[in-house]
Amino acid sequence: MAPLLTPALFLLTRDLHLLLIIAAIFGCFASGQFTWMSAWLPELFPTRVRATAVGFIFNGPRFVAAIGTLILGTLIVKLGATKMPA
């Protein structure tokens, strides 16, 4: 439902009340993809490493994204993309 509601949310809503209604419905489906993680994911690991493993899985992609952001910032500065046209 999230892919179907995305165009409706951003392209078809002109009224604030309709926007809030569609955004609430969209939020139920867009956030629903993470609901399995708190119930099923910890059961994949033994008790002695459960908290560490789940913490690593939740936060590992954040470290990758942070490194990507730093690399992108360096590339923008080196390639001169921050120069404003005269």
At residue 83, the pLDDT reads: 64
pLDDT at 36: 76
Confirm whether pTM is higher than 0.75: no
Q: Going by C-beta distance under 8 Å and a sequence separation of 6 or more, which residues neighbour residue 25?
A: 1, 5
Residue-level pLDDT, tens digit, the chain, 86 residues: 888 888 988 898 888 999 899 889 888 888 776 777 778 888 899 999 999 998 998 889 899 999 999 998 888 888 877 666 65
Burial code of 63-82, b = ≥16 C-beta within 10 A, e = fewer?
A: eeeeeeeeeeeeeeeeeeee
User: So what's the pLDDT on residue 84?
Assistant: 60
